[in-house]
Structure 1
């Protein structure tokens, strides 16, 4: 009887195991297969999979991939794809759009003026390239506005650095930053702030005549600047309480003598305040004319 039980036990066990495997297989087969090419905001996920020639070179696939990254705010990845598009398809009808979106991707990565300026510079480069290589494109007006915004950001960053140096009493380094704002972006409102801060810097350096120049320029070119009232009061103070109009106190920008330099009856030249480099007053009008074109801060400039 024991022999008969063993004879039937093994086949039944094997049969049970086979049925269990078959049931598991049917159960897994009944589950719906994962959707292929699932849409991500209207973009086919298949464009991210694989390494085929089509995925690497087809302009439509590259553009879809770039747009998907941009929509997800994955801007570093979007930058790679837009740049890849431009490297391969500069003559494509979508090239101006790709270049604009390349700039936009960098633009979206911009932070405050005290942070890394690299995204600002790269965004401006892309926009300027669009304006140069694809004039009259649909995105020209937007690119022009973005370039202005980038200029404003760069100017504000220089102001931030200049004020930092000024607070640390590194006046020459501060003056260099403020002057660069005035020279590079003379039409921006921030140039008015730069003129006022440059005047304060020159005052602390002892070059009060230069300070008066900058204050007069501030009042003449930016009368509505937030620092205009303080600048006017300081200008009156530096000029000995004498109320001075904006244009009359402006030193010549073409090499004429500064406003604080006066010529006496005997032809000698006197300078109202000690020069930061301690140089003596010049003794004749010809020398004074030459001196006015040089930096009177000597090697500090």
Structure 2
């Protein structure tokens, strides 16, 4: 009975939340509503800004403010951690405005949004490093920033994108290192070696690549491969810890 009551209250709250949204955003002229949305945005009131921008977007989808409203929504969704909505808005804007003068910024925001998907609130809160979490958002972000640099090398966002690509590369290398270590602990020696070699080939200038040599060495020792052990020991000698 308690669960039913709780479910009923939640359903009612959602119902009233949805039905009262139009009351939150008065039906005023678009210029006035846009000015109010900008004021909220500048003040960092993301939820209120979203309400007003969404109202503008739904009431005047082809109005004078249409493109700028979508750009503003991309930004406030990112700031408010509404990442799925942000990516959907980016996709919509890119499809409708493929040659827009701010497409470099849109690509940059897509990269930032994908990067934010790799962040976990609880990990941030307790300062937990989880290199083994799914790297797909990181790969997507890397591709976004790479595309920005290829298409808009003179963009004001190019330099920061390049810095972020460097950080993302290290994140991907750390994931491969964690995977290789997992294989080693599971005594999957061949799988550990292959992942280490792939890491070294793809991300040779990372700290993870250097660390992977120790995992590779341990796996070769378990397999008793003398020549491979000697080669890996030589690589470790040539790549000392910094």
Secondary structure, aligned partner of 1:147: helix
TM-score by length of structure 1 reads 0.59
- Counterpart CA distance in 2 for 1:134 and 1:103 is 14
Compute the displacement of 1:128 (Å).
0.8
Compute the displacement of 1:100 (Å).
0.3
The one of 157, 167, 170 equivalent to 1:139 is 157
- Tell me the matched-pair count: 192
The question of 1:61 aligning with 2:69 is answered: yes
Where in structure 2 are the equivalents of 1:23-102 lying within 5 Å?
A: 36=26, 37=33, 39=37, 40-42=40-42, 43=49, 45-49=51-55, 50=58, 52-54=60-62, 58-102=66-110
Structure 2: gaps of 5 or more residues: 1-22, 27-32, 43-48, 120-129
- Counterpart CA distance in 1 for 2:184 and 2:91 is 40
The question of 1:200 aligning with 2:208 is answered: no
Q: Relative to structure 1, is the Cα distance of residues 77 and 35 closer, same or farther in structure 2, using a 3 angstrom cutoff?
A: closer
The one of 152, 175, 191 equivalent to 1:157 is 175
Give yes or no for contact 1:69–1:75 (8 Å, CA) kept in 2. yes
Which protein has greater RCO, CA pairs closer than 8 Å, 6+ apart?
Answer: 2
Where in structure 2 are the equivalents of 1:163-174 lying within 5 Å?
A: 163-174=181-192
Greater helix share, structure number: 2
- Counterpart CA distance in 2 for 1:47 and 1:144 is 31
Give yes or no for contact 1:78–1:105 (8 Å, CA) kept in 2. yes
- Counterpart CA distance in 1 for 2:24 and 2:78 is 26
- Counterpart CA distance in 1 for 2:76 and 2:194 is 44
- Counterpart CA distance in 2 for 1:128 and 1:213 is 35
Looking at CA atoms only, which structure, 1 or 2, has the larger radius of gyration? 1
| Residue 45 of structure 2: aligned partner | none
- Counterpart CA distance in 1 for 2:161 and 2:137 is 15
| Residue 223 of structure 1: aligned partner | 240
